[in-house]
Chain A
């Protein structure tokens, strides 16, 4: 594989975008959680001392996550050009303006008000600090809107004309609100909510394992559980709608997800199998008769298009098939865990130790679901970059494979180290907070560098 520049470019871009998405998945929703906490602190006044402690732990975690998201996002903005110059040559007229609007309306907004939100507490009036916090949350969501508009357009392109092999915009409204955009946006925003919910619940559970009476962690655990319990069923419903939308616009992707090799009627739902790409069939399949027809067409006899209709232009089946099952599995697990926990909290008010262990073990489960979901949708679009119109190979750069392999190695090392550091520091911050040990920032103040007033 080390001499195939297209594959190396894909691995590199996939690695980068996969690393990047972990952090927006946390921050998009966490920003709104912080805004909510900030509002409650304002309106509760002195009664909010417990909330205030939670707020300061989570604003630290937010700052850290946001920084990693920003810098890995900058890397992506360059890799569009370094790895896929053909994409910009052909589709630059569409992709460029959407990215430009993301920078103009979202990046500057969130970056500037982040400073006000993080460090401005003692420098601006309360209402302005609240407004700043709102702008950060609004900016992260707006950023998701623009980038998902572009990504969705690559899946369900419309509103353009092709002149001399180059895409030209004809109708911006149609480009931005392309058929898969609302579903993808909703699916991703809720995924962020679930990722943040399990992160909050997991970190709080870890804190409670260290100190059962830690009040801030109790409140945040409840918040995380409730968020997850509400969002998990909504996500399953929205995910189903997204799937139906995909069937309409990208039938090859659905055929790969369900491993349907031949077009037929009354298609069974394959629960598990080993897709055999060579023989174009499934080995060791366990399936429910007529299940796929029922789920996708709401009619047990319905006819579904198989991969045979897309020979030579459908995605590799195995990664899409497995990733989809992983994603759905994570979704179902989230639903079960959050409802079980919500029920326990409602009846008993506290979580037993076993449940705390379970939740601290699933702190990053949202990441698994998000990555699996993105693998389904992105690998599911292969071999195209813009569905049915531009292939990945056509867009690849002619940078020598050696250069790509070298930089790929560099990025991989940095990302692995950073991910480990992120998780370690996050855990350390959370555990320290339960014992009331001074945090690094307080040490700074104790050193006499800043006045100690609050």
Chain B
């Protein structure tokens, strides 16, 4: 039996990126929402992501790591082309990570400063990632229209992260904060819906190849469920948030799960649009792939280790299950 290793690694990379977007998405979202809450609520909101953000961020390293390991030729091209947004994202990431720690260790106005930097870092990461996504979709083309598209996707993804964060807080918060999280969810779902619609409309105009891929027959037929399902999920979030607000339901996890589902569907659409390219119209994943010997070596390791990673990740979510409590080192 021969393994199609480049394809396997393409799937693995896609899964790692999806895992990153969903997992770090909710903790970035909580960071983005922080300024909308009262000062007294900051600690408990951050406590809801405290045990997870570090491991969540590791999926980003995993995603870029697979790009590096499996597709070294594309890795250099993509990261060089995204040089400035990557630098911005990393600066935001560093500031955010350090602010997370310092906000619990500093006191007085220092603490406020680090809270503020934590939010700013979260927002910066979301915007930079959205912008990078737009650059990848358009194949790094330059021009005024491309910049506008970049801005649009940056705002859209930020809205999506805010929705993930808000619906996460619905699960994790109680009383007044939970009510607030529900209100944020309503606002964020509107923004996300506008973002998804606008990006979907703009994408075919940003790339002629994608236009062709979407609107030719018969592709359009079996692609059509995607926007329908996405719209249904967004509407479902809206409806469920309203039911939770009125106390008609107690299934608090539904809006979050539906939001994840929106991300999965969008990601599928994106994957379909870009496949088989890593650098649009220039380099396919097969052209970029590393040697089979190297891929096999990593594949064996991944098959052995990944179940453990998934296992102890689930263990960690179980340990910190339920409504968030203030984090303490246990003194």
Q: Which residues of A contact B (CB under 8 A)?
A: 52, 56, 59-60, 63-64, 67-68, 70-75, 77-78, 80-82, 85-86, 88-89, 92-97, 99-101, 103-105, 107-109, 111-116, 118-124, 166, 168-169, 172, 397-399, 403-404, 406-407, 410-411, 414, 418, 421-422, 425, 428-429, 439-445, 447, 449-450, 454
Besides the known contacts A89-B72, A101-B298, 12 further A-B residue pairs in the complex with CB atoms under 8 A apart? A74-B93, A77-B64, A81-B79, A92-B75, A97-B301, A103-B65, A108-B58, A108-B309, A111-B57, A112-B316, A425-B102, A441-B327
Of all chain B residues, the one with the shortest Cβ separation from A438 is B107
Decide yes or no whether B94 CB sits under 8 A from chain A: yes
Which 8 A-B pairs give the minimum distances between C-beta atoms? A85-B76, A121-B330, A92-B72, A81-B79, A96-B69, A71-B97, A115-B51, A450-B326
Q: Which residues of B contact A (CB under 8 A)?
A: 40, 43-44, 50-52, 54-55, 57-58, 60-62, 64-70, 72-73, 75-80, 82-84, 86-88, 90-91, 93-98, 100-102, 104-107, 111, 290-291, 293-294, 297-298, 301-302, 305-306, 309, 312-313, 315-316, 319-320, 325-331
A81 near B320 with CB under 8 A, answer no
Q: How far is the CB of A364 from chain B (nearest CB, A)?
A: 18
Q: How far is the CA of A450 from the CA of B57 in the complex (A)?
A: 27
B293 near A168 with CB under 8 A, answer yes
Which residues of B are found within 8 Å of A115, using beta-carbon distances? 50-52, 54-55, 316, 319-320
Q: How far is the CA of A35 from the CA of B108 in the complex (A)?
A: 32
B106 near A74 with CB under 8 A, answer no
Number of residue pairs across A and B with beta carbons under 8 Å? Answer: 258
B78 near A81 with CB under 8 A, answer yes
B76 near A72 with CB under 8 A, answer no
Supposing A97-B298, A99-B65, A112-B55 touch, asked if A88 and B319 sit within 8 A by C-beta, the answer is no
Contact residue among A78, A97, A406, A418 (Cβ-Cβ distance under 8 Å from B98): A418
Q: How far is the CB of A39 from chain B (nearest CB, A)?
A: 16
Q: How far is the CA of A94 from the CA of B104 in the complex (A)?
A: 41
Of all chain A residues, the one with the shortest Cβ separation from B16 is A103
Which residues of A are found within 8 Å of B67, using beta-carbon distances? 81
Which residues of A are found within 8 Å of B327, using beta-carbon distances? 118-119, 441
Which residues of B are found within 8 Å of A77, using beta-carbon distances? 61, 64-65, 68
Which residues of B are found within 8 Å of A441, using beta-carbon distances? 104, 327-329, 331
Which residues of A are found within 8 Å of B84, using beta-carbon distances? 403, 406-407
Q: How far is the CB of B55 from chain A (nearest CB, A)?
A: 4
Q: How far is the CB of B43 from chain A (nearest CB, A)?
A: 5
B75 near A85 with CB under 8 A, answer yes
Which residues of A are found within 8 Å of B51, using beta-carbon distances? 115-116, 118-120
Q: How far is the CA of A101 from the CA of B68 in the complex (A)?
A: 12
Of all chain B residues, the one with the shortest Cβ separation from A94 is B294
Contact residue among B72, B76, B302, B329 (Cβ-Cβ distance under 8 Å from A93): B72
Q: How far is the CA of A212 from the CA of B91 in the complex (A)?
A: 41
Q: How far is the CB of B260 from chain A (nearest CB, A)?
A: 20
A71 near B329 with CB under 8 A, answer no
Contact residue among A116, A397, A414 (Cβ-Cβ distance under 8 Å from B95): A414
B94 near A56 with CB under 8 A, answer no
Which residues of A are found within 8 Å of B331, using beta-carbon distances? 52, 56, 441-442, 454
- Report 23 cross-chain contacts, Cβ distance below 8 Å, ordered by A residue: A56-B330, A64-B101, A68-B101, A70-B54, A74-B57, A74-B90, A75-B94, A89-B73, A92-B72, A93-B293, A97-B298, A97-B301, A101-B301, A104-B302, A108-B58, A108-B312, A112-B315, A124-B319, A397-B83, A399-B83, A414-B94, A428-B105, A440-B104
Q: How far is the CB of A154 from chain B (nearest CB, A)?
A: 15
B61 near A67 with CB under 8 A, answer no
Q: How far is the CB of B277 from chain A (nearest CB, A)?
A: 18
Which residues of B are found within 8 Å of A70, using beta-carbon distances? 54, 57, 97
Which residues of B are found within 8 Å of A443, using beta-carbon distances? 107
Of all chain A residues, the one with the shortest Cβ separation from B321 is A123
Q: How far is the CA of A73 from the CA of B95 in the complex (A)?
A: 13
Q: How far is the CA of A89 from the CA of B40 in the complex (A)?
A: 51
Supposing A68-B98, A96-B70 touch, asked if A109 and B328 sit within 8 A by C-beta, the answer is no
Supposing A407-B84, A443-B107 touch, asked if A120 and B319 sit within 8 A by C-beta, the answer is yes
Which residues of A are found within 8 Å of B90, using beta-carbon distances? 74-75, 78, 411
B93 near A100 with CB under 8 A, answer no
Q: How far is the CA of A97 from the CA of B331 in the complex (A)?
A: 41
Q: How far is the CB of A232 from chain B (nearest CB, A)?
A: 30
Contact residue among A103, A169, A444 (Cβ-Cβ distance under 8 Å from B293): A169
Q: How far is the CA of A278 from the CA of B43 in the complex (A)?
A: 60
